[in-house]
């Protein structure tokens, strides 16, 4: 890429999806933090370093100065799969750790990622608090909800991306129009998949009995909270704590670890050093790399003073009730 090098830190790093995206854009990672031991193992195997632990225990003096702060702060407090307690949940308050570091280090820019439900949590009040705290630090803030399906990955995964700059730089969110992967590009041949990934006869019969339409092939069968089965030519969002049978390939088997990673855009040489259940959790908590990479490219252009095509109008900072109804 024709961009100048910049530095960044990787907070709530998980297994390094954001790091891969920003390094591909010319960034150099100076610091990473992740408290989960299994995620640390995966991160260390692939990046050669163990992330620092609990960010709440790390003084800002131990965090190096950097150009861009990158953080996918925990989303369970705002997710439809959780209790949606927001800032009443201790995980929700971890946003204020991001604020603490931004205040002390004043990087040129930041990028935050969370679930779409953050936008309308508590009738939009939670999101407005976040936006107001960020602008209160002097940042010019932009946000948008992006879907992985628009960035070449056959997974319906909508996430809110918040970007901010200390200077009022030109910036627009990307619109992907490159090649799109299909399920055939991601799924392995059933004949090459170990038997342990196949569902029992009882599970398969139960899925089939609740099927309402003829499925495409290949397809991912999705079981929703009501117990209904929907076969699609894409995957619904991978989730960290979903039922083992939440997504079934052609209604007969579960995703393999490599398939989980492919749905998140990880490279084929990404090392798997933990058990299958840990990979499922780690992918459910991760980011889709092509989505973050497209945003990282726009950020890099902005902070290196390169022109950015204005292909999306910036949303207003404060949400109105009418705007919330459209999300």
Verify whether residue 283 is a known catalytic residue.
no
Q: What gap in Å lies between CA 306 and CA 4, rounded to an integer?
A: 10
Distance of CA 264 to the CA centre of its chain: 8
* Longest CA pairwise span in the chain (Å): 59
Phi, psi of 187 (to 5 degrees): -80, 145
Q: What gap in Å lies between CA 260 and CA 10, rounded to an integer?
A: 22
Query: Please, which residues have CB within 8 angstroms of residue 70's CB and are 6 or more apart in sequence?
Result: 8, 9, 10, 11, 18, 19, 22, 110, 111
Q: What gap in Å lies between CA 72 and CA 95, rounded to an integer?
A: 9
Both tokens of 255, joined, read 């995703």
Angle at 163 between CA 171 and CA 166, to 5 degrees: 80
* Residue 39: closest CA among 280, 314, 298, 304: 280
User: DSSP letters of 164-204?
Assistant: EESS----------S----HHHHPPPGGGS-GGGBPPHHHH
List 75, 103, 236, 283, catalytic entry? 75
Active-site residue list: 75
């Amino acid at each position: 890429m024709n961009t100048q090098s910049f530095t960044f830190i990787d907070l709530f790093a998980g297994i390094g999806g954001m790091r891969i995206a920003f390094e591909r854009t010319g960034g150099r990672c100076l610091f990473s933090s992740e408290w989960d031991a299994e995620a640390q193992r995966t991160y260390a195997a692939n990046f050669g370093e163990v992330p620092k632990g609990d960010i709440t225990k790390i003084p800002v003096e131990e965090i190096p100065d950097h150009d861009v702060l990158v953080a996918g702060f925990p989303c369970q407090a705002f997710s439809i799969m959780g209790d949606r307690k927001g800032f009443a949940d201790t995980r929700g308050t971890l946003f204020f750790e991001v604020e603490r570091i931004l205040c002390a280090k004043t990087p040129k820019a930041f990028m935050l990622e969370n679930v779409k439900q953050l936008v309308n949590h508590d009738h939009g009040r939670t999101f407005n608090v976040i936006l107001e705290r960020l602008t209160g630090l002097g940042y010019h803030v932009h946000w948008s909800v992006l879907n992985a399906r628009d960035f070449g990955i056959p997974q319906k995964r909508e996430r809110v991306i918040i970007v901010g700059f200390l200077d009022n730089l030109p910036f627009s969110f990307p619109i992907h129009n490159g090649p799109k992967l299909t399920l055939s590009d991601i799924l392995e041949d059933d004949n090459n998949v170990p038997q342990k990934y196949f569902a029992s006869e009882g599970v398969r019969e139960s899925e089939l009995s609740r099927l309402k339409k003829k499925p495409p092939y290949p397809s991912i069968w999705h079981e929703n909270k009501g117990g209904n089965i929907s076969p699609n030519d894409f995957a619904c969002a991978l989730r960290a704590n979903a039922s083992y049978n939440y997504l079934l390939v052609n209604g007969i088997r579960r995703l393999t670890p490599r398939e989980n990673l492919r749905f998140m855009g990880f490279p084929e040489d990404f090392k798997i050093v933990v058990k299958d259940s840990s990979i499922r959790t780690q992918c459910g908590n991760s980011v889709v790399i092509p989505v973050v990479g497209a945003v990282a490219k726009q950020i890099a252009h902005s902070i290196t003073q390169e022109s950015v095509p204005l292909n999306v109008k910036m949303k207003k900072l404060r949400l109105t009730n009418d705007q919330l109804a459209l999300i």
